[in-house]
Amino acid sequence: MGSKLVSSLIRLLFLGFLALIVFYGDHFGVSFDYPHKGLFDNVYVRLAKGCLLLLIVIELLRVYYYGVVKNPSPSKLAGNIATLFLPIVLLLVALEIGFMFIAQSQEGGLTMASHIWFERYWPPMTGDYRDTPKTDTLGKKKVLLVGDSFTAGHGLKSPDERFGNVLGAKLGDKQYVTYNLGISGSDSRDEFKRLTKFGVKPDVLVLQYFPNDIEKVAHDHGLVPASFTPYSDIPRAFQSLFIKSYLFNYLYWQFPHGNFAPFDNYARTAYGTPAIINDHLSDLNQFVEYAKANNARLYVVLFPFVHDLKKSAEYTKPVVDFFQKNNVPVLEVGKLIGDIDVKDRVVGRNDGHASPLVNERVGEALFKLMQSGSGVAQAPSVN
């Protein structure tokens, strides 16, 4: 019995070492490489982690069995401690393995659950874009949608739920082909670079705008938003646990962290500073000139912060005025969704991106706007 206990302890030490490498390999220069790492989690890596935890549990049970149950003269204190903590350890391991397969979209894609979400729902992809390859394009008008995570469909389980896909379905595939050039985290400058590098010239160009598109320009002028550093609000000794554990990482992000007030002040300053807004409008003017040069119709879809439509409209008024002065139709999404309850405007409690309902309204309104040719979208007023 003693030899069996010793062999289990040796295996437990070995498995513990492997677990250290697998879960904390980045501290030792060891990492798993797979497509879209950083955005996607990988189911095979999670399965390996889960199997490793199960093996550790088996050895813990063996140690308890030979060290306490079958031991003729066990230490009473050690036996009581083991009997108390072993069920807790088993429960935590079971929960950890279970949470390795729970997906949840999150605002910035920072969480482990969001990486699982991306792996499960983000494909298909063509290169860096969440889009399907286009083959039957000869003689068809090209519609290019350029934007950030709202265009890419962050939080939407199916690409068909995106406003761009709703538009594409209404346009039909006999005369039109729609390309989605949405990239999460993109801003106006990055979007223009990607547009000009893309191998297809548009007949119709849709630029999706969001109030944080001004950030890089503001940064050039020394204005940086106050940001929250994830996990900084928990003791340093426990931060690694909340970063590496699927269970504790999930629990951590179920609670609010940081607040919107600092960004409100930042946005008002950025959009209200002449030097910043003028440089930003100069960047946006590149889209106007690009559309003219390619004889393409340009439309702008302006998404607000869906939890505060009024503030968003105040921030972005200079942008709306600029496009309207250049005879570019602007679809202000805030005017489409004022009658929708706030919780129904977003995809989830941890993700403020537009819900399928909002995307459906935007796609339909954009289609009507393109069909009317008037540049004026019919929409309910903001409540």
Give domain status of residue 37, yes or no: yes
Whole-number percent of the chain with pLDDT over 70: 96
What local confidence, expressed as pLDDT, does residue 28 receive? 85
Q: pLDDT: is 382 or 28 the higher one?
A: 28
CA atoms within 13 A on the CB side of 98: 8
pLDDT at 376 over 50: no
pLDDT at 380 over 80: no
Give domain status of residue 357, yes or no: yes
Q: How far is CA 48 from CA 23, 32, 221, 325, in A?
A: 11, 11, 47, 58
Mean pLDDT score across all residues of the chain: 92
Q: What is the largest CA-CA distance in the chain?
A: 90
Find the angle CA(216)-CA(221)-CA(224) to the nearest 5 degrees: 60
Give domain status of residue 207, yes or no: yes
What local confidence, expressed as pLDDT, does residue 114 receive? 97
One-letter-per-residue 3-state SS of 56-102: HHHHHHHHHHHHHHCCCCCCHHHHHHHHHHHHHHHHHHHHHHHHCCC
Domain count for the chain: 2
**pLDDT band for position 82 (50/70/90)?**
confident
Give domain status of residue 110, yes or no: no
Residues 184 and 82 in one domain: no
Calculate mean pLDDT across residues 14-33: 89
Give domain status of residue 155, yes or no: yes
Residues 93 and 150 in one domain: no
- Boundary of a domain, candidates 68, 101, 134: 101
Helices and strands, counts by H and E, the chain: 15, 7
Give domain status of residue 240, yes or no: yes
Residues 90 and 159 in one domain: no
**258-311, pLDDT tens digit by residue?**
766 678 889 999 999 999 999 999 999 999 999 999 999 999 999 999 888 999
**84-142, pLDDT tens digit by residue?**
999 999 999 999 999 999 999 998 899 999 999 999 999 999 999 999 999 888 999 99
Nearest C-alpha neighbor of 325 from the set 269, 369, 284, 274 = 284
Distance CA 173, CA 360 (A): 18
Residues 221 and 344 in one domain: yes
Residues 50 and 178 in one domain: no
Residues 204 and 311 in one domain: yes
What local confidence, expressed as pLDDT, does residue 265 receive? 87
What local confidence, expressed as pLDDT, does residue 374 receive? 44
The values of phi and psi at residue 144, to 5°, are -110, 125
Element (H, E) at 257: none
pLDDT at 379 over 50: no
Burial 305-338 (b: 16+ CB within 10 A, else e): bbeebebbbebbeebbebbeebebbbbbbbbbbe
Strand, coil or helix: 361? helix
Residues 226 and 305 in one domain: yes
Calculate mean pLDDT across residues 173-189: 96
pLDDT at 228 over 90: no
What local confidence, expressed as pLDDT, does residue 340 receive? 96
Count of beta carbons in the 10 Å neighbourhood of residue 195: 19
What local confidence, expressed as pLDDT, does residue 3 receive? 84
Q: Could you tell me the CATH number of the domain that includes residue 323?
A: 3.40.50.1110
Residues 57 and 93 in one domain: yes
**pLDDT band for position 1 (50/70/90)?**
low
Calculate mean pLDDT across residues 181-210: 96
Residues 152 and 97 in one domain: no
Strand, coil or helix: 272? helix
Contact between 12 and 89 under an 8 Å Cβ cutoff? The reply is: no
The values of phi and psi at residue 331, to 5°, are -100, 105
Residues 62 and 191 in one domain: no
Query: What range does the domain containing 225 cover?
Result: 126-372
- Boundary of a domain, candidates 48, 67, 101: 101
Residues 59 and 147 in one domain: no
The tokens describing 348, both together, are: 């989830």
Give domain status of residue 65, yes or no: yes
**pLDDT band for position 226 (50/70/90)?**
confident
The sheet that has 297-302: what strands, in order across it? 176-182, 141-147, 204-209, 297-302, 330-332
Residues 169 and 69 in one domain: no
Distance CA 219, CA 210 (A): 17
Element (H, E) at 206: strand 204-209
Q: pLDDT: is 79 or 207 the higher one?
A: 207
Q: pLDDT: is 206 or 306 the higher one?
A: 206
Give domain status of residue 251, yes or no: yes
What local confidence, expressed as pLDDT, does residue 382 receive? 38
State the Rg of the chain over Cα. Answer: 26
